[in-house]
Structure 1
Amino acid sequence: MRLKLLFKLIIILALAGSCSAQDKNQSLPEAPLPVNDNFAKGADVGWLSQMEATGYTFYDTDGSPKDCLKLLKDRGINTIRLRVFVNPSDDKLTGHCSKEETVAMAVRAQNLGMRIMIDFHYSDSWADPGKQNKPAAWVNHTFEELKNDVYDHTFDVLSALKTAGVTPEWVQIGNEIPGGMLWPDGSTDNFGQLAQLLNKGYEATKAIDKNIQVIVHIDQGNNNARFRWFFDQATANNVKYDIIGLSYYPFWLKTDYTENIADLEYNLKDMVSRYDKDVMVVEVGEDYQKVQTTYGMLKAVIKAVKSVPNNRGLGVVYWEPEGAKSWSGYQLNAWQDNGQPSPALDAFKN
């Protein structure tokens, strides 16, 4: 009898030890991210007015036609980003985005209770890391005249918005400018001049409303060395800004997001600690045909931005989610071929 009791006791102790070991090896549930009710969940919709003008119809999941902005809002999006060109052409893809069109779309979005970001390209068409062409009207201007051009154009557009009852929450001075803007005068090869141009945009913005937050934006948000180099130079040259804006496109990096999402999170946190600036992913996108991948990428990016301490990660903006490939030819939209929003956008809910 004593042997039986001793044997049972040994088994009980062994099982208890086994359970304890399993508990230690189990990964603990992740701590919930801090709640940030002010988190910007955005969409850049610069193509929208032309899509509507050319007859593109947007549909809800029940097949009924619906205003695109309402469809986006239904999926949790609370912020609209709008690009501005100086003297754009009428080309449906590379033109438009004039002051007048920007004001009209901003009013529509604000009437739906959405927040507004304005993205100044300081060009007549696309400005990005590969091209930062001066507007045709500014081509022969001296550098001093260029500084006035930046100030006057920025002030003019924001004044028109304010007159229409819209004061943007954020303004971007330049779009994806790792090499500078208004080449060659504002190239990073002459960062001192770039700094003066950026500061003119900042000053014009604050002259409209000192509460507007000014963003300086470069690409490859997972590339910490790229960001340190640029913003170290910005600091040395006394660039005035409030927020560091990042683009993050695993597709263009020819990687899966799982390969560098940790690098994005590291860079976000490093920017805050190194420069004492808030951060925001102002452009993100993934292949519209890969719905689950795009959904997973969006969830991961939102999580990375929300993980920045003290709510200093401000938001995430999808670039042209409504830009259906049948209309735009753009692969990284988030719209289905049937005219309905991609389920990937549900990542913005909650």
Structure 2
Amino acid sequence: MRARRRRSVLVLMLMVAFALLAGTFVASCGHGPAAPAGRGEPGVLSVRGVDLSTALLAEAAGIRYSAGGAAEPIERILADVGANYVRLRLWVNPPAGYGDEASALALARRAAAAGMKIFLDFHYSDTWADPKHQTTPAAWRGDDLEALATRVRDYTRRVVADFARQGTPADLVQVGNEISNGMLWPLGRLTDGQPGGWPGFLALVRAGVDGARDGGPAGHRPRIALHSDRVGDPAGSHTFFDRLTAAGIPFDVIALSYYPFWHGPLDALRATMDDLARRYRGDVLVAETGYPWTMAGGDPVLGVADPDRLPEASRFPPTPEGQRAYFGALREVIRQVPDGRGLGFVAWEPGWLAGVGWEPGATAPFTNLTLFDHEGGLLPAARAAFAPPGS
């Protein structure tokens, strides 16, 4: 009996050891979102970010920012009220200052000096990438899929390494921008009849992820975010992230774009974040958001100049106070994501005032979504948006 008991104990110990090893293996494979070591307490927003990609262009245009006193650098003002991440757009060969690597490196140095972490947003294009536009960089066109994937991997590795080399390593890397319909068209386009389809898209995403991980310095491996715009579309979101997960693409964060005038009320965001956090057991981040403090300065073609496009205008009127209320309510939605998996949010281009076009010589279409008024003064929403826990 004693010998049988010893054998039973030995078998049980072996089974536990096997289970632990198996769990380690699955986690190391990174199939789908992985629980990050850096997640904070449940209900606490660990990312309170700002996209400042046009800041150097704004300064060159003579725009100055202040918070009730003398002019200060925009990143200092926002860090002082609690912003802790800066998101930087990266285009491959854009017009000077428009998302080029040199500008992003300069802004990263400034942001790091202000105490902020770095979030890199790779568009893999020479211009804006979004669900309707994913134009392959001019220098990469004509490549077959294998060559294009190699370019993506090498480019991502080099850029991530460049940020680390100057002492501003990336904490978050977004592989592609709003890639629900694919990236690097046509080889990575998720449309019936296109040359690449899912095999092409998955190969390109994997190349970007591999490059980002390889470029990070030892001991500072960046977390990988994959970016969707499908708030309020559970079927589309499930198809997209199910395919990525089934293919074994390793990523850490599900990143979402959310603008009420395009995506609907906050309840749509709440339902999407809760669903994705539960289904994939991963962290969810609102990687882009904004809300109008006025309707003056918005582009009517893009739907940001019409109060009828605001789904909750009575709750969040397009005024400075309404904008402040929006960001307060947004924080509450993210705080309530199950298991503390709501990482936080990034306010998109809070300083993009008139004087900087969406391309050289063009207009500025979103000057009513900023966190600074038309004279560069800080709006009340900024303090409500970025206030750290307990303040």
TM-score by length of 1: 0.83
Task: Write the mapping of 1:1-350 to structure 2, written as runs, cut at 5 A.
Answer: 39-62=46-69, 64-90=70-96, 96-189=98-191, 190-209=197-216, 211-253=221-263, 255=264, 260-289=265-294, 290=318, 291-325=320-354, 327=356, 328-330=364-366, 331-348=368-385, 349-350=387-388
Q: Residue 98 of structure 2: SS of its match in structure 1?
A: coil
Q: Once the two structures are superposed, what CA deviation does each residue of 1:274-316 show, in whole Å capped at 9, x if it has no partner?
A: 1122110000011131223322221222111111233211111
Contact 2:42 2:341 in 1 (8 A): no
Choose between structure 1 and 2 for higher RCO, CA contacts under 8 A separated by at least 6 residues.
Answer: 2
Q: Residue 43 of structure 1: SS of its match in structure 2?
A: strand
Contact 2:157 2:213 in 1 (8 A): no
Deviation for aligned residue 1:245: 0.2
Q: 2 CA distance for matches of 1:127 and 1:205?
A: 19
Instruction: Return the letter of the residue paired with 2:201.
Output: L
Q: Which runs of 5+ in 1 are unaligned?
A: 1-33
Instruction: Return the letter of the residue paired with 1:284.
Output: T
Contact 1:59 1:65 in 2 (8 A): yes
Q: 2 CA distance for matches of 1:263 and 1:57?
A: 36
Q: Residue 81 of structure 1: SS of its match in structure 2?
A: strand
Q: 2 CA distance for matches of 1:40 and 1:241?
A: 17
Q: 2 CA distance for matches of 1:223 and 1:308?
A: 17
Deviation for aligned residue 1:100: 1.4
Relative to structure 1, the CA distance from residue 193 to residue 238 in structure 2 (aligned partners, 3 Å threshold; closer, same or farther) is farther
Q: 2 CA distance for matches of 1:251 and 1:293?
A: 14
Q: Once the two structures are superposed, what CA deviation does each residue of 1:145-183 show, in whole Å capped at 9, x if it has no partner?
A: 110111011011111111101111100000011100001
Instruction: Return the letter of the residue paired with 2:108.
Output: A
Contact 2:288 2:346 in 1 (8 A): yes
Q: Which runs of 5+ in 2 are unaligned?
A: 1-40, 192-196, 295-317, 357-363
Contact 2:353 2:370 in 1 (8 A): yes
Instruction: Return the letter of the residue paired with 1:216.
Output: L
Instruction: Return the letter of the residue paired with 2:80.
Output: D
Q: 1 CA distance for matches of 2:326 and 2:226?
A: 24
Instruction: Return the letter of the residue paired with 2:73.
Output: D
Between structure 1 and structure 2, the one with the greater Rg is 1
Q: Residue 347 of structure 1: SS of its match in structure 2?
A: helix
Aligned sequence identity (%): 33
Q: 2 CA distance for matches of 1:320 and 1:123?
A: 19
Deviation for aligned residue 1:228: 1.5
Q: 1 CA distance for matches of 2:259 and 2:245?
A: 26
Q: Between Structure 1 and Structure 2, how many residues are aligned?
A: 307
Q: 2 CA distance for matches of 1:223 and 1:248?
A: 12
Q: 2 CA distance for matches of 1:314 and 1:58?
A: 28
Q: 1 CA distance for matches of 2:77 and 2:343?
A: 23
Deviation for aligned residue 1:261: 1.3
Deviation for aligned residue 1:87: 0.5
Instruction: Return the letter of the residue paired with 2:240.
Output: F
